[in-house]
Amino acid sequence: MFIGDVSKQFNIPADTLRYYDRIGLLSPRRQGGVRRYSEADLNKLAAIAKMKKLMFSLNEIQIILSADAQIDKSLQQASPDLSAAQALLSQIRAKLREVEALAENIKEVKRELARLAAKVKTVLEAGEYAE
């Protein structure tokens, strides 16, 4: 797939895809100077998009993705690389705590917004009777 097709399919500007290439987040092979996105590239991009929605920074995504890949690779060897796995696991746990804190915040904001909405509605109803 060419960059334009990928851009359309994922609804991501081509410039952004080139940017991802530049920073080494997603670097497809070239054919005659032109980027060709493989099936694997598309899968990776899907993973990136998903994590982005989940508010990971591009940096975090990069770390997690490469650690994940490294683990997959080492799984096929006789002696898996435990340190990479350990590092990734603590990364994951940290993110999990972060996400849990966020979930708490979200509960709170929902209460706050509901409270605020109720107050606003009071004003609107008072306005109705006044007319």
Query: Least CB distance from residue 19 to DNA, whole Å?
Result: 4
Q: Does 40 bind its own copies (CB under 8 A)?
A: no
The answer to whether 38 and 69 have CB atoms below 8 angstroms apart is no
Q: 55 to 74, contacts with its own copies by CB under 8 A?
A: 55, 64, 68, 71, 74
Pick what 88 binds: its own copies, DNA, none; C-beta below 5 to 8 Å, kind-dependent: its own copies
Name which of 51 and 85 has its Cβ closer to DNA.
Answer: 51
The answer to whether 92 and 85 have CB atoms below 8 angstroms apart is no
Pick what 111 binds: DNA, its own copies, none; C-beta below 5 to 8 Å, kind-dependent: none
The full DSSP string for the chain is --HHHHHHHHT--HHHHHHHHHTTSS--EEETTEEE--HHHHHHHHHHHHHHHTT--HHHHHHHHHHHHHHHHHHTSSS--HHHHHHHHHHHHHHHHHHHHHHHHHHHHHHHHHHHHHHHHHHHHHHHHH-
Residue of 34, 69, 99, 113 that binds DNA (CB under 7 A): 34
Pick what 120 binds: DNA, its own copies, none; C-beta below 5 to 8 Å, kind-dependent: its own copies
Residues that bind its own copies (CB under 8 A): 50-51, 53-55, 64, 68, 71, 74-75, 78-80, 82, 85-86, 88-89, 92-93, 95-96, 99-100, 102-103, 105-106, 108-110, 112-114, 116-117, 119-121, 123-124, 126-127, 130
